[in-house]
Chains A and B, each alone.
Chain A
Amino acid sequence: MSDRQTASDTLLEIRDLTRSFGPVQALRHMNLDIRPGKVHTLLGENGAGKSTLIKILSGLFPPSSGSIRFKGKAYSPASPLEATELGITTIFQELSLSRNLTVAENIYANHEPNSFGFIREKTLYDNARQLIAELDLPIDVLARVDDLSMAQRQLVEIAKGLSRPADLVIMDEPTSSLSDSEAELLFAIIEKLKARGTAIIYISHRMSEIMRISDDITIMRDGEYITTLGKEEADINKLIALMVGRSLDNVFPPRISETPTPNVTPLLEVDQLTAHGFFEDISFKVRPGEILGFFGLVGSGRSDVMKALFGLVPYTGNITIDGKAVTIRNPGEAIKLGLAFVTENRKEEGLVLSHSVGNNISMVALGYFTNSLGFLKTGLERNSALEQVRRLAIKTPNLEFTSGNLSGGNQQKIVLAKWLENKPRILILDEPTRGVDVGAKFEIYTIIRELAAQGTAILLVSSELPEVLGLSDRVIVMHKKQISADLPAENLTQEYVMTHAAGVAHAEGNSQ
């Protein structure tokens, strides 16, 4: 690396950067050199530390230790505004647009051309028009953001970021909501920026575009810097191996029961399930006691399939449970059919954070603890909740404790407990260990294994590939809203699954 670069042509230099949140080290000993006029891609799985690094650079929070030098000077912005003024602009993935304002008003939000506080409308719209023309975007500056498509909004977001002069532009998954043709517009903009000498830090999960536009690629894993490769040294298989490269030993509890054989009647059969715009033509079967893994990159549609199974997304196609055709129109019907859904957002969709552990655990199964007049049998409810607390080893002082004050791992166990109270036959787990520490992860894995051994059919959605491979009997890979592979988990490699998820399986040939 050092032979490729000298100090003089480095725009941004990061040395030994560390950031911890309480006991969690989100970023450890990070090193990075960014050259002017080049695209530098950060590559890593979710939780690899990319977001933390970007947030430090954009002034959202300071590092715990380490040094950053930008344009030869020490760089420590106190706020995002200061970061922009110093010359680093960040285009975030989450849209930060005001939906009721026009495109132009959004682009110049917070730095409107004005005289004594009065906005100069004409200058505002002229400037916006000029910027949009320069970037060659098919967008009307007078349009209200609310009337734009998600892709157009993403392009406005990019224009907004580029409305101020910047020496370094950070793009966090800018193509995640763009189609191929719209992505081309972005790549053209990137070429223009490079020609101007602007450096770009680029984050994406799409391997093909990374190979196409990157000059340098830095791989990160578990908050640590792994290595930096030049474009000429990198190929997709090598990058994927570096990105996932950790062994699965001792991370997962051993299998308790045999993998169910194909001649067992499926508990749940899904045939040609489609919800336009969400997913297309999804078919799979899951047997009692089987763990069926779902892997796909963000936006591949895997969570939407689960929502449809739970009556939250209207679908066409057939769902069969126990050989009987069923329709699921709302969560109530899904629950009656024996389904349970641990969603990926436990704080929004899982828990009532302001309520007690006990109230949350009995949330789904309240009907069991009720007499004919609708009065709660609190003793029964309490004992059952205590039983779950013991079984899942939820660390809470008592059942009255406010669930929002517990750790992520314990909160996740409460969500699990509330569904187990209802004794589900089909358990959907969407990112069951997101934001959960390693110890609690292992405990949750153990519970999943036990449930499977007792005959529960489990659909396991995760963006952590080792988790999917370590637990599943079979793996379904999704890419661009469709199933791209249905594979037995035995002897499956992460690299092979990743090629299917990234949609490059054909380009690379069958590598297994």
Chain B
Amino acid sequence: MNRLTSNPSFKAMLRQYGGLILALVALCLFFSYQHGAFFSVSNFVNIMIQVTVVAIAAFGMTYVILLGDIDLSVGSMIAVAGMVAAQCFISGFGFMSTLAITLFAGLVMGAINGMLVAKLSLPAFIVTLATMGIYRGAVSLPTQGKPARIDDEMWYIIGNEGISLQPIGIDFEIPYMVVILAVVFILNALLLSKTVFGRRTYLMGGNREAAVYSGIKVDRIRIIIFMLCGLMAAISGVILSARLGSAQVNAGQGYELDAIAAAVLGGTSLAGGAGTMVGTLLGAILIGVINNGMSLMNVEYFYQLIAKGIVIILAVYLDVRSKKART
């Protein structure tokens, strides 16, 4: 007998994500062949920076999709978080209190989504479609639709600087964004795969009725998960606004779709009950590689959109087919 499934061995992981990793390698080889600058450490760091905002939002989305729900308001929550931060700084708050208030705003927005879904039994698709509009509209309230500058040194450092490896003799800098991505990823992966909360999320997503009969507090878990999704969106919002040095009213527009795509590419089942953070991270990186490679090749943006869509359909189809073949 092997170990429990929520705790897969390296071999099992390879089997699970083999297709995704293969696609990543193939794309990397293709882009390297097309453009010499693709295959370099600095470009990979570049890709990770580009991936960070979507990947962190996608971690939150993974929980929601695991329950068989969806959160369309993620992009709007990213923008709200940026604007909350900007307004805090304008009102004279310091770095730490601004950060705390911004993340709290994410929790509140997520709680609103979660309560409406769990307590009023409204479909998550409809609730978050509505709050997508509400939150997006709310971004413009303080500035009447204009962007807001963020003048804070620490905030700027988060998005634009890194940890220098000079002291250990390497002429290289790890961007703080990538460090945050790594830490957030590890925390989410631990929460989902090693804790009771994570296990109950899987069980509830696999069969909500059975979870109810087993005494699992399904409403509470659902609300907490929408809050987690809001929190992740807020972290994405902090990073995006830090990188831009401002809060834009249309920040993060369409990111919910990239986040969903990343989770689904990573093997998260839209029916709920199956998926992992590792998969979502790989899915986000795959999307990042496609974007980056095509930009290097000077492919027009509209071609990029078409190509990305085709890759998503192809990858998910191959995944579905391989899973069918296994059972």
Hey, which bits of chain A sit against chain B, CB under 8 A? 310, 312, 330-332, 334-335, 341, 343, 348-356, 358-359, 362-364, 366-367, 369-370, 373-376, 378, 381-382, 386, 398-400, 402, 405, 418
| A356 & B4 in contact (Cβ 8 Å cutoff) | yes
Tell me if B195 and A375 are in contact (CB < 8 A): yes
Contacts of A367 in B (CB 8 A): 196
- The distance from the CB of A314 to the nearest CB of chain B, in whole angstroms, is 15
Cross-chain contact A378 with B196 (CB below 8 angstroms): no
Please measure, in the bound complex, the distance between the C-alpha atom of A356 and the C-alpha atom of B273, giving whole angstroms: 12
Interface string of B181-207 (1 = CB under 8 A from A): 000000000100011110110110011
Task: Give the residues in chain A near B40, CB-CB below 8 Å.
Answer: none
Decide: A359 near B197, CB < 8 A? Known: A351-B210, A354-B206.
Answer: no
Residue B13 at the chain A interface, CB threshold 8 Å: no
Question: Smallest CB-CB separation from B198: which chain A residue?
Answer: A376
Inside 8 A of B134's CB, which chain A residues have their CB? Answer: none
Residues of B within 8 A of A356 (CB): 4-5
Contact of A352 (CB < 8 Å), options: B2, B190, B196, B273: B273
A348 — which chain B residues lie within 8 A by C-beta?
A: 207, 209-210
Q: Which of B41-49, B211-219, B308-316 contacts A (4 or more CB under 8 A)?
A: B211-219
Cross-chain contact A366 with B207 (CB below 8 angstroms) = no
C-alpha spacing A335/B213, complex, angstroms = 10
B210 touches A349 (CB 8 A): yes
Report which B residues bind A (CB closer than 8 A).
Answer: 1-7, 190, 194-197, 199-200, 202-203, 206-207, 209-217, 273-274, 327
Contacting pair A398 B215 (CB below 8 A): no
How many A-B Cβ pairs are below 8 Å? 101
Known: A331-B212, A331-B215. A398 touches B194 (CB 8 A): no
CA distance A353 to B274 in the complex (A): 12
Contacts of B196 in A (CB 8 A): 366-367, 369-370, 374-376
Q: How far is the CA of A405 from the CA of B327 in the complex (A)?
A: 9
A354 B194 Cβ-Cβ under 8 A? no
In the assembled complex, the CB of B214 is this many whole angstroms from the nearest CB of chain A, namely: 5
B273 CB to nearest chain A CB (Å) = 6
Could you say which residues of chain B place their CB within 8 Å of the CB of A376? 194-196, 199
Q: Which one, B7, B190, B273, contacts A355 given CB within 8 A?
A: B273
Q: Are B215 and A334 in contact (CB under 8 A)?
A: yes
Which of A363, A374, A381 interacts with B214 by CB under 8 Å? Answer: A363
Asked whether B214 lies within 8 Å of A418 as measured between CB atoms, the reply is yes
Contact between chains at A331 and B6 (CB < 8 Å): no
Choose one: B5, B194, B213, B216; the contact of A359 (CB below 8 Å).
Answer: B5
Bound form: Cα–Cα A352–B209 in Å = 9
22 A–B contacts, CB within 8 A, in A order: A310-B213, A312-B213, A331-B214, A349-B212, A351-B207, A353-B206, A354-B206, A355-B5, A355-B202, A355-B206, A358-B5, A359-B6, A359-B202, A359-B203, A363-B210, A363-B216, A366-B200, A370-B195, A373-B195, A398-B1, A400-B4, A405-B327
